[in-house]
Chain A
């Protein structure tokens, strides 16, 4: 029993030191730089495969015709908009509880990418809606919830940019993101309830349960592709942010001007 407890303590200690080591700015900067090209390659590879599969190989939908092919950007973008917010919420919790610098940086580097995916999901949803519903905008539950999510993202930028000190700004943003993440399920539920009340549940939705396997595989491939895109781009932004915040640190000097480091 006691051995088990000691073991557990050592395990926790080891995990903790691993987290601290990985999250130390120079280590993250180096590792992310090494991993970036790989994620870029997976992104491009899966993107090409997904696009061929989705635009060419997947059979035409018998109800929606070829317009359904918009889902291969719309749905992964909508998934990413939520996924990135969840990543940000996780980072916010880590940043507030353990004061890990890296979490702050990943959070704020993710925000523009998340907002971009939200905007893409909204725009493509609206473009898809035009031939399907006959109008550019319908107060459909998913689109409306996505619109609210965009405002949550915009609020994060507004708050972060209004604070002069970036450290304080990040901590404000962490609280805002956590408040937002508690609210997202509530907003989704309430908007869904509101939409069914106002227009009846007959509206065709994107994810019909009977999706053909040839249609589904490209969709999942595109989802992987977008995730790799996010990691690649976020790494780049995080590294910029790290350089900015740590510009006086020794590791930056060592890295950028190897001869001058003494």
Chain B
């Protein structure tokens, strides 16, 4: 196992390039996922609020 981690003396080069690549790739992936979730929530909230306002207006009109 330690031999595997050692990479024939090139450990720092090999592991740093793999680490860098996967940090960037997974970072980008999770950022994209969370942005999508966030956008869904924002628009959902917007729609619900608009519907509530509409309903309130209707009720006010009926009360008058």
**A: which residues have CB within 8 A of B?**
55-56, 60, 65-67, 69-70, 73-74, 77, 112-113, 116, 119-120, 123-124, 127-128, 130-131, 229, 232-233, 236-237, 239-240, 243-244, 247, 252-253, 256-257, 260
Contact = CB atoms under 8 A, between A and B. Distances in A.
Interface residue tally on B, bucketed by range: 20 to 34
A120 B36 contact: no
A202 B43 CA distance: 58
B37 to A, nearest CB: 9
User: At the interface, is chain A mostly helix, strand, loop or mixed?
Assistant: helix
Interface in B1-53: 4, 7-10, 13-14, 16-18, 20-21, 24-25, 28-29, 32-33, 35-36, 39-40, 43-44, 46-48, 51
Closest 4 CB pairs of A and B: A66-B8, A67-B10, A236-B32, A124-B17
A65 B9 contact: yes
Contacts of A116: 24-25, 28
Contacts of B10: 65-67, 69, 131
Contacts of A67: 7-8, 10, 13-14
A238 B44 CA distance: 18
29 contacts: A55-B4, A65-B8, A65-B9, A66-B9, A70-B13, A70-B18, A73-B21, A113-B28, A116-B24, A119-B24, A120-B20, A120-B24, A124-B20, A124-B21, A127-B13, A127-B16, A127-B17, A128-B13, A130-B13, A131-B13, A236-B35, A237-B32, A237-B35, A240-B32, A240-B36, A240-B39, A257-B47, A257-B48, A260-B48
